[in-house]
């Protein structure tokens, strides 16, 4: 089953009277359970594609299907619900809520979904164990290293059991040793939980770990290799 199906997707931005063609007719399909990376230099369009796939931005042209839904025809409310229920995000800046503890940051998406307290507690405990942070449940983000904060971000993305996890430059703020540990963790979760992971990256280590590597340059697909 296709989790993402993009056909001739265009994305234009208008900046100071100029039109920037961020994506120029991109066609890509990602199936359930993939562990894939979209690579390219800065400004290539890789992050733009992730933002469109995550329903964080609107396409200019073409068709983008996410989880079988045509996102170009959906209302803002429906897009928000699709994101909330089906998509997990991992960002290079972690985007944790500083005043909340680790377990509160992780459980927050479940609270938004209206999950009952008992299940929230059980699911939060499970993902804390999955990412090896059981003993840090009560800590605040500022009391943790960058690698530990990224583990919290992964747990938060996983806790609602999304069909799709989008990771935008997830190793950018980490040294190579910690970055490798994070990638090993995500690969393990991909294999054990069946989560679909799609990265945007210019990190060669992420490209090496990916089971599929899509290269984008100047808003177009340059290569698409399954390893």
Instruction: Give the rounded distance of the alpha carbon of 109 from its chain centre.
Output: 15
DSSP states along the chain? -EEEEEEEEEEEEEETTEEEEEEEEEEEEEETT-EEEEE-STTSSHHHHHHHHTTSS--SEEEEEETTEEGGG--HHHHHHHHHHHEEEEETT----TTS-HHHHHHHHHHHHT--HHHHHHHHHHHHHHTT-GGGTT--GGGS-HHHHHHHHHHHHHTT--SEEEEESTTTTS-HHHHHHHHHHHHHHHHHH--EEEEEE--HHHHHH-SEEEEEETTEEEEEEE-
Tell me what pLDDT residue 1 has: 80
Q: Distance between CA 98 and CA 90 in Å, rounded? A: 16
Q: From CA 180, how far away is CA 136, in angstroms rounded?
A: 21
In angstroms, the CA 40 to CA 134 distance is 36
Question: All domains of the chain, ordered by start, with CATH?
Answer: 2-226 (3.40.50.300)
What is the predicted pLDDT for the residue at 18?
92
Instruction: List per-residue pLDDT tens for the chain, 227 residues long.
Output: 889 999 999 999 998 889 999 999 999 999 999 999 999 998 899 999 999 999 999 999 999 999 999 999 999 999 999 998 899 998 877 889 999 999 999 999 999 888 999 999 999 999 899 888 999 999 999 999 988 998 899 899 989 888 899 999 888 888 888 889 889 988 988 998 888 999 999 999 999 999 999 999 999 999 999 98
The reported pLDDT for the residue numbered 66 is 95
Residue pLDDT, tens place only, 136-164:
999 999 999 988 998 899 899 989 888 89
User: What's this model's pTM, rounded to 2 decimal places?
Assistant: 0.89
């Amino acid at each position: 089953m296709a989790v993402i199906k993009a056909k001739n997707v265009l994305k234009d931005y208008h900046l100071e009277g100029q039109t920037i063609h961020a994506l120029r007719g991109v066609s890509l399909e990602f199936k359930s359970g993939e562990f894939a990376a979209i690579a390219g230099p800065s400004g290539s369009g890789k992050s733009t594609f992730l933002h469109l796939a995550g329903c964080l931005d609107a396409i200019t042209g073409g068709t983008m299907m996410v989880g079988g839904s045509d996102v170009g025809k959906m209302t803002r409310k429906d897009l928000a619900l699709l994101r909330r229920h089906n998509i997990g995000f991992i960002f290079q800046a972690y985007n944790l809520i500083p005043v909340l503890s680790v377990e509160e940051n992780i459980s927050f998406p479940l609270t938004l979904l209206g999950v009952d307290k008992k299940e929230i507690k059980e699911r939060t405990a499970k993902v804390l164990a999955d990412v090896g942070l059981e003993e840090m449940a009560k800590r605040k983000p500022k009391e943790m290293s960058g690698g530990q904060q990224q583990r919290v971000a992964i747990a938060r993305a996983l806790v609602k059991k999304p069909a799709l996890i989008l990771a935008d430059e997830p190793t950018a703020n980490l040294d190579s040793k910690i970055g490798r540990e994070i990638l090993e963790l995500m690969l393990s979760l991909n294999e054990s939980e069946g989560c679909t992971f799609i990265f945007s990256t210019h990190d060669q280590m992420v490209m090496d770990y990916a089971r599929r590597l899509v290269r984008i340059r100047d808003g177009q697909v340059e290569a698409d290799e399954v390893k």
